Amino acid sequence: MLDRVVSQSQLLALVDELALSRRIVGPVRRSDRHFYGPVDRADKLDLDFKYCVYSPKAALFPADQTLFEFQTGPDGFQTSPVYDESPLALVGVHPCDINAIRLLDRVFSNTNIDEHYLSRRRQTFIVGIDCPTPCTSGVFCRDMKANEAREGADIMCSPLPPNGVSDDVRYGVVFGTDAGREFVLYSHAGDPPTVDDERASERYISDKARAFPQSIPYDVDALPELLERSYDSLLWEATARRCYSCGSCNLSCPTCYCFNTYDRLEMTLTSGTRQREWDGCQLRSFAVVAGDHNFRAKAAARLRHRIYRKAKWVKEREGVAGCVGCARCDRACTAKISSVEIYNQLAEEV
């Protein structure tokens, strides 16, 4: 059931309204690709994008973020935490990335409450845009049950088939939160859905169900068991021999949340900041501990660890898979290692 129908120009006007009180981050065109980037006006967005090279994760969990400031002086060692609470709107977020944000929400709020993430997240309004077809070849979002996002966005917009009346793209809008409902209704944008709109929406949903191919013979619920039986597979060694351990898969992943901390000192040497930066389990030094011992020194062990995290361990702990099937890891891999291929090869082995 739709809550509202808006045209693309009405949606852009809504974004301009959001921009009065929020920073806007959405799809912009750069070097022949799309990236999530900051804009000050909605007409700088390109809502007809297929996919963005990187996910909007960096807006919530920056690649390099200040956690606290510290200083030493006559009063001893003092720290003060740094939180970014400036209101933000993420616009044009696809279901895969919305599901990824939902996972980050869980991870950063369960055992260790991460106020640096949550303070930003609480101030974030999400305008989701649904995908009628796979954004590009190689994605396996359907297999990960992440090509739909019924929760996570404040408003979710699905592009409806043309109705023959207007050339403007029309979106069926579903309110995901009270904030989303209030925002759209108070601005009086768009119209209540007609019976025809509801029919168009139903057709959209059934067309979409057929448009996404199955890429893996086991769906996300069966992957933990598949992996359970694949720990000693020869595949890990055979595939990882090509791995550069460059971490591109990790750092382009919308659900990877590992980070490293370090201190940045001012030249005075008496004050500075504690920073955290994105880290990745495929990097050789990721698992180095005191005494220089590396408990995952081999690329094969690291590759297995990543796949287990994505499709088994995170799911067992958080209830949802650590992968949304966006295939950014596969596209980013400088050695052309494909996680879809890994799942398929493992499925053949067992």
Where do contacts with other proteins occur on this chain (CB under 8 A)?
30-31, 33, 35, 53-54, 58, 63-64, 241-248, 251-252, 265, 267-269, 277-278, 280, 283-285, 299, 331-332, 334-336
Please report how close the Cβ of residue 346 comes to other proteins at its closest, in angstroms: 21
- Residue closer to other proteins (CB basis): 55 or 147: 55
Is the CB of 28 or the CB of 314 nearer to other proteins? 28
Residue 328: name the closest of 280, 277, 261, 285 by CA.
280
* β-sheet bridge partners, residue 72: 77
Of 76, 73, 36, nearest in space to 56 by CA: 36
Q: Beta strands 271-278 and 64-73: pairing type?
A: antiparallel
Which CB, 36 or 183, lies closer to other proteins? Answer: 36
The two counts, helices (H) then strands (E), for the chain are 13, 11
Shortest Å distance, C-beta 248 to other proteins: 5
Q: How far is the CB of 284 from other proteins (least distance, A)?
A: 6
φ, ψ at 159 (rounded to 5°): -70, 120
Minimal distance, residue 278 CB to other proteins, in Å: 6
Q: CB of residue 32 vs other proteins: minimum separation in angstroms?
A: 9
What is the rounded distance in angstroms from the CA atom of residue 66 to the CA atom of residue 57? 16
Q: Report the Cα 257 to chain-centroid distance in Å.
A: 10
Residue placing its CB nearer to other proteins in the complex, 38 or 217: 38
Query: Is the separation of the CB atoms in 282 and 243 below 8 Å?
Result: yes
Cβ atoms 103, 318 nearer than 8 A: yes
Q: Choose between 243 and 324: whose C-beta lies nearer to other proteins.
A: 243
